[in-house]
Amino acid sequence: MERFIQHEPLFIRHFTTEVWPYPVHNHNHFELMYIHSGSGYHELNGEVNPYNGRCMFLLAPADYHILNIQEKTEFSVLKFSNVYLDGATDESVKNEWNKLIDHLLVISNAYDSCLVKSADELDKIDHIIRMVVREWEDSNTSNEVIFYLIRSVFALIKRNALHQMIPGNLSNGNLFIDIMNYIHVNIQIPEKLRLSSLSKQFNLSPNHLSSLFKQQMGASIKKYIDDYKFKLIENRLRYSGLMLKEISNEFGFTDLSHLNKFMKNRIGVSPKDLRKNPGSDI
């Protein structure tokens, strides 16, 4: 399997083809692939899924893929690195952006098929992506307009994915979207994720909130928080150059031994061992 290396923080391609020109490969960067039209099959990490018309995939560096095109397909591909993600000069914007990317990486791990299901939302994204491509072709480099257009695309993906995670028959689905959003935003602040703090935030008793979440979502709040935190730490270990102590501090562990215990309880290996073997299945 080939590995494609990109040195630029951002690179954008737009093309139409009847034959996919690349072998099975992975990357050293993240890749947002938007399909404007056409049909065929996308093989991502060994799983084959059909596409027909507008569709979108988010790939992390460890992901490998290839396409089998059945009908001429129009692609826009946005390739970006951690350097690009850290490029915002405003610290609050940078933090929001990084949390959004964290969330999208967790979402993308849960979806082998198209990230966004709504035809109306895919139409909105189509227009924004075409604006990104046009801006890139005019300047052939990144700029502030491209940065915020891409960020708006990611915000639309996040909004749609959250709705897709909620069972369709829930009468209070918006409450659970708000709860999950709150957890995602505050995942690095353990005291805000205590049941007492969550119940106060959403004006529900701790017992009622706990039982309601488990009944409707099929898992306890603690499990949801731990699952999300684990995926973020896993992404840090696979894709960032942060030291283990920095990761431990970022997620509010009192020391490195608590991070080790958390990871070993989840997957049976230490963070150090996972980092040594970033491509291993868990």
Please tell me whether residues 161 and 185 are part of one structural domain. Answer: no
Please tell me whether residues 13 and 151 are part of one structural domain. Answer: yes
Q: Side chain identity at 185, as an amino acid letter?
A: V
The residue segments making up the domain with residue 104 are 2-165
Q: What is the pLDDT of residue 260?
A: 92
Which has more pLDDT, 41 or 147?
41
pLDDT at 72 over 60: yes
The stretches of 87-172 forming alpha helices (DSSP H) are 91-110, 119-139, 144-165
Cα separation, 209 vs 193, whole angstroms: 13
Do the domain assignments include residue 282?
Answer: no
The set of residues, in sequence order, having a beta carbon less than 8 Å from that of 250 and lying 6+ positions away, is 188, 236, 242
Give, as one character, the DSSP assignment of residue 43: E
Tell me phi and psi for residue 88, to 5 degrees.
Answer: -70, 135
The partner residues of 4 in beta bridges, in order of sequence, read: 27
Q: What is the pLDDT of residue 160?
A: 79
Q: Are strands 2-4 and 25-27 parallel, antiparallel or unpaired?
A: parallel
Please tell me whether residues 9 and 141 are part of one structural domain. Answer: yes
Q: Per-residue pLDDT averaged across 25-48, rounded?
A: 89
pLDDT band at 120 (very low <50, low <70, confident <90, very high): very high
Nearest to 69 by CA among 16, 113, 20, 35: 20
Please tell me whether residues 161 and 197 are part of one structural domain. Answer: no
Do the domain assignments include residue 281?
Answer: no
Please tell me whether residues 120 and 260 are part of one structural domain. Answer: no
Question: Does residue 27 contact residue 4 with C-beta atoms inside 8 Å?
Answer: yes
Please tell me whether residues 8 and 139 are part of one structural domain. Answer: yes
Q: What is the pLDDT of residue 102?
A: 72
Last residue of a domain, one of 105, 137, 165: 165
pLDDT tens for 168-182 read: 555 565 788 788 888
Q: What is the CATH number of the domain that holds 223?
A: 1.10.10.60
Q: What is the CATH number of the domain that holds 10?
A: 2.60.120.10
pLDDT at 46 over 80: yes
pLDDT at 272 over 80: yes
Last residue of a domain, one of 145, 165, 185: 165
Please tell me whether residues 111 and 216 are part of one structural domain. Answer: no
Please tell me whether residues 214 and 96 are part of one structural domain. Answer: no
Q: Per-residue pLDDT averaged across 130-135, rounded?
A: 96
The set of residues, in sequence order, having a beta carbon less than 8 Å from that of 184 and lying 6+ positions away, is 99, 102, 103, 228
Do the domain assignments include residue 115?
Answer: yes
Please tell me whether residues 154 and 182 are part of one structural domain. Answer: no
Please tell me whether residues 27 and 137 are part of one structural domain. Answer: yes
Do the domain assignments include residue 240?
Answer: yes
Which has more pLDDT, 279 or 163?
163
Please tell me whether residues 99 and 185 are part of one structural domain. Answer: no
Cα separation, 228 vs 220, whole angstroms: 12
Do the domain assignments include residue 189?
Answer: yes
Do the domain assignments include residue 24?
Answer: yes
Give, as one character, the DSSP assignment of residue 4: E
Q: How big is the chain by its Cα radius of gyration, in Å?
A: 20
Q: Side chain identity at 147, as an amino acid letter?
A: F
* Predicted TM-score (pTM) of this structure: 0.71
Please tell me whether residues 111 and 95 are part of one structural domain. Answer: yes
Number of domains within the chain:
2
Last residue of a domain, one of 139, 165, 191: 165
Do the domain assignments include residue 212?
Answer: yes
